[in-house]
Amino acid sequence: MINLGQLKEIKDLRKVWPHEALDFTPWLAEEDNLMLLSDAVGLEITVDETESSVGDFNVDIYATETGTDRKIIIENQLEDTNHDHLGKLITYASGKAADIVIWIVKRAREEHRAAIEWLNNHTDENIAFFLLEIKLYQIGDSDIAVKFEVIEKPNDWTKEIKRQTSSSPTLQARYDYWVAFNEYAFNHAAFAKAFNRRKASTDHWMTLSVGSSACHISLLQVRKDNNITVEWYITDDKELYQKFYSHKADIESDMGMTLDWRELPDKKASRILVIHEADFDNKDKWPEQFDWAMDVAMKMKKAFKKYL
């Protein structure tokens, strides 16, 4: 007979994090813990600053959506929602020109849940508000497990996607390709373990986080050239590029392939990439393209992270 433990919820969050700023915020800013939040909201998040100044106040975490310029503020509250923190959210969002606002709380009161829902329904389609509750669970004397439970979120920007795709066959084709990629790639355990799921978009690129704000992996549909590209993209750090380049032989040996190294001295960014032929119009060919991109991305992350 199998003995099953009883799952219990730990109600007092301060048993784990006594202080929001000193304990919870630094914990959340760590890569593995931030991935839990990223999974919950469906965004790739890279921390820029903790306790970031907004006038006389500080926002708990100021971050960026990986691969885009969209700015994120994260406000933590190890207690029930209140009007004070709701007001701070609006102040911080304005002061930081944020596109995405994430409010993490112990318990969401109904009036504040309704307020976040109202904000999502009455603000620009590029602005997103998330309200999440933190849950702690334990079985017997096991390690404590954390879960972020989404209480309110935008409608996945579906209205904007529909608006864009309805007027452009090219945008529709890009979107359909990324939807199919997500469905295929994240049903493979190794890939799902290596990367967080990204929301499908009408962009020709999809970014994958590697746990650093300095760089990320991009997958690109280059339809005019009939190819798919996987690249290690360094946002603005030529010294980091040179560090990678000094290990070029080892990196290429680890990956088992030759890479195209592009420092781009006249630009801020640098790119290190691999290109593969792709027939985007033939959906029967998509699984082969997805397998190739997944394999290169996983090898790339493993090879480059040694030198981060």
pLDDT given at position 35: 85
Report the DSSP pairing between strands 227-234 and 7-9.
unpaired
Model pTM score: 0.62
Is residue 135's pLDDT more than 80?
A: yes
CA dist., res. 57 & res. 232, Å (int)? 36
pLDDT digits (tens, 9 = 90+) for 241-300: 999 999 999 999 999 999 999 999 988 889 999 999 999 999 999 999 999 999 999 999
Is residue 55's pLDDT more than 70?
A: yes
Query: DSSP assignment of 188-241, as one string?
Result: SHHHHHHS------SSSEEEEE-S-SSEEEEEEEEGGGTEEEEEEEESS-HHHH
pLDDT given at position 166: 58
Query: DSSP assignment of 43-102, as one string?
Result: --EEEEEEEEEETTEEEEEEEEETTS--EEEEEEEEEE--HHHHHHHHHHHHHTT-SEEE
Mean pLDDT of 56-61: 85
pLDDT given at position 191: 95
pLDDT digits (tens, 9 = 90+) for 150-190: 999 887 555 555 555 556 788 888 889 999 999 999 999 99
pLDDT given at position 292: 97
C-alpha dist (Å) from residue 134 to 76, 107, 139, 278:
10, 8, 17, 43
pLDDT digits (tens, 9 = 90+) for 137-146: 999 888 899 9
Q: Write out the two tokens for 221.
A: 């549909």
Report the DSSP pairing between strands 270-277 and 260-262.
antiparallel
CA dist., res. 116 & res. 101, Å (int)? 10
CA dist., res. 52 & res. 24, Å (int)? 15
pLDDT digits (tens, 9 = 90+) for 10-37: 999 999 999 999 999 999 998 889 888 9
pLDDT given at position 188: 94
